Structure 1
């Protein structure tokens, strides 16, 4: 381990006091969960701490507890949900605030003594191949990692911090990066932080790491077969861009190790003047679609937003506005911001027809356009008929105003856009004063 890595480790490793507080809090909540179940005559209940808190692979300041309440597989699904939520709600009465989350079935999210706690009901199956709901495999993950990770915990901490600093950590659909479980598996497979980086530096799409022989084919860029389920790719959520970003980060660090590679860059908000200066320097056009953020969980919202982003870009491209790049910011409102080569294009559009010698199609093309009064010109070029016609939309804003609802949007995004939306062009993007949005623009422009 490099001296700078040892220094980073000293900074990110939880203190003894912090560990004791976590253990005491987890023990108390698990004990209370059992007491609540007994009081209500809910039988055959077991409670387990899972995740990084249970495996000693959590970074200081990351106060997350995942407590799983397991029930016998014979219990009907509706009863599992009822009992799980009841125990969670009763526990939450002792916390600061709580809400219901939803994975494959509902669970309770709460804050207790400074810890973000998930109380998750699951079935206590005897084998991972017999899971009834997706969360049932988590205890098997926990068992596998705890058996293999001893002595490698510090390596996991370094890799997690490296990924967090580089923006590749987090498997939620907002980030599409590496999960904590995947990070631990990489360390177990390669043996150390350094070995992971050296291996990843030469990764290519279709990279395979097989803890078990897979029972089916996968198409994702990184394929890490779950050691508890041969039909599951642990890296399924990892996008191609985050896969490649991690490769790039590994190469940079191996070439020149720096402590700054373990610290997330702080992006400062831009002032109006700074935004205008950057826009003028780029001499491109900026357009933004702004609407109220739908009230749904992030794992439902973000796939819809990414779907919308691709669809809007495709619409602009099809109409010759030539997008350079786009991105999404989410706060109270959603802002889809797009940089275009030009937000206003010529009224005339050149449309090429078939070769003149392809008689049937050529005659149909000629007949379609020669009698139209709005045609600017009709001629032959390189053996093909060519017609110059007026465009339906000459500005990107008018195109979006009229066609946005024909894009692929997703249920909740579509509803929000139907309620109200605003299109901002050029300097009008300065109307949004939120400091997080201004910091986002600092990265975008």
Structure 2
């Protein structure tokens, strides 16, 4: 299908019924908050900027601007208590906030922030939300272009600044669409990037060299540096890593070569396809559970453990294919296609540690010395499933320390 025709025909705007419900519930919450606080209440996020895309479950951000941290500590919990008829979850973040809901259709995030006159005065990133909303509402010409970007990036698995995704935040995509003008121009520009690119939409720096000097070094690791239009000392895409960026570029190339609506639709991992490509090899599916807080914390813990486990498997197997899927609750799935190595080399202690060397030789056959250390060659002899079960039996303490409460192979 022709790219222009496709982009003209599709949109991911929420239905009129969905918007009516969200507007009604949001107004009810905002009115209650305003009646019970001297703080300024404002709606933020995608809902406020008209960049909300159609979803099964929506998130609406509502901020309460207090005069100080002291006021937040003193008044925020009492204020939440005034919201009747909602289920409430306290969420840990840079500041604790509440996620409230009546049903599975929408969650309303009630976030306390400190009212600052200038972004430079902000001591917490959430304090900048007020400025982000106003910037996007003032600058964005076509919300549809942002919805296209969000849907595409979400389908690619690169939408979200959470640690288990390391991708593009919603505000980041809004700024990029404002800068490039359209979704099409955005993805074509990103596809061409080879080395680290710096984008300074409001030209707050004289040149790119100045950006690299002035920004904190910890914010310069992303392949794409986007200077926050509202606060020059912040890289909006600091969470983005090179693996996620290359994953996006690959999807963009495929899409541009054969434009189709399916690239905007999130697909579950195709287990049957993985099993098919594992012919002559081994397919492994591992379910992980954690007791940590749903969302970024749980997802990050599960992803970190997944990478650790894959690292253990790589000592005895070649990883042909690896996928990780997180359900936004407390469960993660690891999908692997493995090819067993005939034998592996294990490193032992330095030769000067005679007692340890003797113990190593007693435990292992086929030892040899190299570079001042002792090694051995061993046949693998186990399937991936057997290896994981044996590893789990020996490393229950490690699994517990990494906040994994259950593991099923």
Which category describes the TM-score, using the shorter chain as reference length?
0.7 to 0.9
1:80-99 deviation digits (Å, cap 9, x = unpaired): 044223222322x233x221
Shift of the alpha carbon at 1:48? Answer: 0.3
Query: Which residue among 127, 138, 157 is the counterpart of 1:136?
Result: 127
Aligned residue for 1:87? Answer: 79
2:342, 2:379 within 8 Å by CA — same for their partners in 1? no
User: CA 1:108–1:249 in structure 2 vs 1: closer, same or farther (change >3 Å)?
Assistant: same
User: CA 1:184–1:390 in structure 2 vs 1: closer, same or farther (change >3 Å)?
Assistant: closer
2:281 is equivalent to residue 284 of structure 1: yes
Matched position secondary structure for 1:196: helix
- In structure 2, C-alpha distance between the alignment counterparts of 1:69 and 1:103, rounded to whole Å: 16
2:298 is equivalent to residue 301 of structure 1: yes
2:198 is equivalent to residue 208 of structure 1: yes
- In structure 2, C-alpha distance between the alignment counterparts of 1:18 and 1:376, rounded to whole Å: 67
Matched position secondary structure for 2:192: coil
- In structure 2, C-alpha distance between the alignment counterparts of 1:401 and 1:128, rounded to whole Å: 49
Q: Please identify the structure whose Cα radius of gyration is greater.
A: 1
Shift of the alpha carbon at 1:392? Answer: 10
User: CA 1:5–1:231 in structure 2 vs 1: closer, same or farther (change >3 Å)?
Assistant: same
Shift of the alpha carbon at 1:405? Answer: 5.2
Aligned residue for 1:69? Answer: 64
Aligned residue for 1:239? Answer: 241
Residues 10-409 of structure 1 mapped to structure 2, 5 A cutoff: 12-15=12-15, 18-37=18-37, 44-61=38-55, 63-73=58-68, 75-76=69-70, 79-91=71-83, 93-95=84-86, 97-112=87-102, 114-149=105-140, 151-211=141-201, 212-213=204-205, 214=211, 215-216=214-215, 217=217, 218-265=220-267, 278=276, 282-287=279-284, 290=287, 292-318=289-315, 320-330=316-326, 334-342=332-340, 396-397=387-388, 400-401=391-392, 403-404=394-395
Aligned residue for 2:4? Answer: 2
User: CA 1:378–1:245 in structure 2 vs 1: closer, same or farther (change >3 Å)?
Assistant: closer
Shift of the alpha carbon at 1:31? Answer: 1.4
Normalised TM-score (structure 1): 0.73
Shift of the alpha carbon at 1:141? Answer: 0.8
- In structure 1, C-alpha distance between the alignment counterparts of 2:172 and 2:346, rounded to whole Å: 51
Matched position secondary structure for 2:146: helix
- In structure 1, C-alpha distance between the alignment counterparts of 2:378 and 2:54, rounded to whole Å: 62
User: CA 1:336–1:246 in structure 2 vs 1: closer, same or farther (change >3 Å)?
Assistant: closer
1:89, 1:108 within 8 Å by CA — same for their partners in 2? no
Q: Structure 1: give runs of 5+ residues left out of the alignment.
A: 38-43, 354-360, 425-445
1:235-291 deviation digits (Å, cap 9, x = unpaired): 122232221122122222333322332233366775xxx98x638x52223456555
- In structure 1, C-alpha distance between the alignment counterparts of 2:276 and 2:31, rounded to whole Å: 57
Aligned length: 386
Q: Structure 2: give runs of 5+ residues left out of the alignment.
A: 206-210
RMSD of Structure 2 on Structure 1 (CA): 3.9
- In structure 2, C-alpha distance between the alignment counterparts of 1:364 and 1:133, rounded to whole Å: 51
